[in-house]
Amino acid sequence: MPTITDTAAWTRLTAHRDELSTITIADLFAADPGRGERLSWEVSGLWLDLSRQRINPETIQLFAALTDAAQLAQRRDDMFSGKSVNSTEGRPALHTALRDLSGLTPDLFRSVARNHRESMLAFAEDVRIGKARGSTGRVFQDVVNIGIGGSQIGPMAVTTALMGSDEPQRIHYVANIDAADWITTRDHLDPETTLFLVASKTFFTQETMANARAAKKWLVDTLGEEAITKQFAALSSNTLAAKAFGINPKRIFSFPDWVGGRFSLWSAIGLSIAIAIGRKEFSAFLEGAHEMDKHFAAAPFERNLPVLLGLTDIWNRNLLNLPARAVLPYSERLKGLNPYIQQLEMESNGKGVTATGDPVKGRSASIVFGMTGTNGQHTFHQLLHQGPAVAAIEFIGVAKARHDYVGNHHMLLANMLGQAEAFALGTGADVSIHHACPGNRPNTLIVLKSLDAHTLGMLMALYEHKVFVEGTVFNINSFDQYGVEFGKALAVPLIEAFSSGDGTSPISAAALAKLRAWS
């Protein structure tokens, strides 16, 4: 069956790539010093600058033609209307309904989302003001979110970005099945003042339930069985399993099956966020995401930020042969953004077959890595500047500081711009061979006017829609993750084999024997 790489739009884009092959980013700026204004776009305090990419205005027009070939407009409308765009699992992908304030999604979905949200936010406020208390009557001082993947990565990224130092509770995240994760958190907790949130859509997630059982035992050993109903809440669609665990039904906060795990931080899975920042800020977070939803739903593709960001990524990895992308947030508060984007992009679009079962032609997703600036400058930037393996680069900066150290903030932003310029232009020919940096490394700049709940919501929704754009171009279902489930399934018989010593495949037998002997 023909794929996007078989279309005339892709052929024209390939020919355009060849025409630009000898033209550097420095050449593009020399020919058009004003390209910084022509190749940048803003939506409500979020600015996207593609001027340091190896593209020109004609590229943007060819991007739009590619979206026509992929029928992106129809596919986007199908998603917002509640059609089963998650084709392999036969259901909608309507995380946008969780934050819909203007009727972009069907009323029924919005109503369900609103009801779930209100009960979750009411509980969050009860925790914050001390109305909801532990089994001995003491106010909660610590909240521990036990979850993994989408039940942890997104909420932790938002909490890290937005939570102030004067909030009434401390928020912790326990994810790894390695008990060290639980133990190091536990050692800072008082059982009388700790609330546990078990975040698992199915309430069967292997790692989450192992940690939840450890937390339950610790609490019961100190305070007795009655503490479970007061100091545990569940964020799950499996209410029966949560009740069987001992959780009070009034503290089971559900969300629909049309919300995928890595798109679920806007749902009850965001309870830790709501406790961390409060109802007002959580609402502003949803409003920011909805702002980006409206933009994605209505803006022409030639100036549609998720479309431009997604098509530029496709251009870099498929046409310019840059399979990896470094995401570099120049904000310590955004240090959780890298794992969030890694999961969102690589779990969603890291697929080898299309939605119709045909092999994918081309690279469906980038290999995403990175860390905050300026830390990254002292780890892997050397390879990016002078190494023979070139990666695309994405800078994310915040214009206004959330602290009084203005000099530090200006230094941070100056480093970001300096790195972006160095990657684009290089050193020139008047330096020694050891000092020479070739430049012509394409990079994108995303700037937030400020790091607040509204703009962070916009930023995270931007990346969600970027993923959808790229999945649509390659005709991939961005909403399943069978590869993740396959690897976890193979672990089940191996868990038993650690006790019995047999029943495993030859490929793991020698390693299992050594681990058993040494453990």
347 is a catalytic site residue: yes
Query: Is a pLDDT exceeding 70 seen at residue 184?
Result: yes
Q: Which of 219, 242, 233 is nearest to 271 (CA)?
A: 233
Burial 476-502 (b: 16+ CB within 10 A, else e): bbbbbbeeeeeeeeeeeeeeebeeeee
Average pLDDT (133-142) is 98
pLDDT tens sequence across 163-172 = 999 999 999 9
Do the strands 142-146 and 170-174 form a parallel or antiparallel pair, or are they unpaired? parallel
Specify the 3-state DSSP secondary structure of 374. coil
Query: Is a pLDDT exceeding 70 seen at residue 385?
Result: yes
What pLDDT is recorded for position 36?
97
Query: Is a pLDDT exceeding 80 seen at residue 502?
Result: no
Average pLDDT (117-135) is 98
Task: Give the number of other CB atoms < 10 A from CB of residue 381.
Answer: 20
Query: Is a pLDDT exceeding 90 seen at residue 490?
Result: no
Query: Is a pLDDT exceeding 80 seen at residue 242?
Result: yes
pLDDT tens sequence across 341-377 = 999 999 999 999 999 999 999 999 999 999 999 999 9
What pLDDT is recorded for position 489?
86
Check whether domain 95-279 has CATH 3.40.50.10490, yes or no = yes
Helix and strand totals (H; E) in the chain: 20, 11
Alpha carbon distance 328, 330 (integer Å): 6
37 is a catalytic site residue: no
Average pLDDT (263-280) is 98
Domains 4-69+299-473 and 95-279 share a fold: yes
118 is a catalytic site residue: no
Do the strands 324-330 and 252-253 form a parallel or antiparallel pair, or are they unpaired? unpaired
Alpha carbon distance 231, 223 (integer Å): 10
Catalytic pick among 347, 394, 464, 470: 347
Query: Is a pLDDT exceeding 90 seen at residue 501?
Result: no
pLDDT band at 332 (very low <50, low <70, confident <90, very high): very high
Name the percent of the chain lying above pLDDT 90. 93
What pLDDT is recorded for position 503?
65
- The number of angstroms, rounded, from the C-alpha of 17 to the middle of its chain's C-alpha atoms is 30
DSSP 48: E
What pLDDT is recorded for position 158?
98
Catalytic pick among 131, 188, 217, 488: 488
pLDDT tens sequence across 454-482 = 999 999 999 999 999 999 999 999 999 99
Rounded mean pLDDT of the chain? 96
Three state DSSP letters for 69-106:
HCCHHHHHHHHHHCCCCECCCCECCCHHHHHCCCCCCC
Query: pTM higher than 0.95, yes or no?
Result: yes
- Which residue is associated with the tokens 């022509």? 38
What pLDDT is recorded for position 447?
98
DSSP 143: E
Q: What length does the chain have? A: 519
CATH of domain 4-69+299-473: 3.40.50.10490
pLDDT tens sequence across 73-93 = 999 999 999 999 999 999 999
Average pLDDT (108-131) is 97
What pLDDT is recorded for position 358?
93
- Locate the domains of the chain by residue range: 4-69+299-473, 95-279
Average pLDDT (38-45) is 98
Average pLDDT (128-154) is 98
What pLDDT is recorded for position 324?
98
Name the percent of the chain lying above pLDDT 70. 100
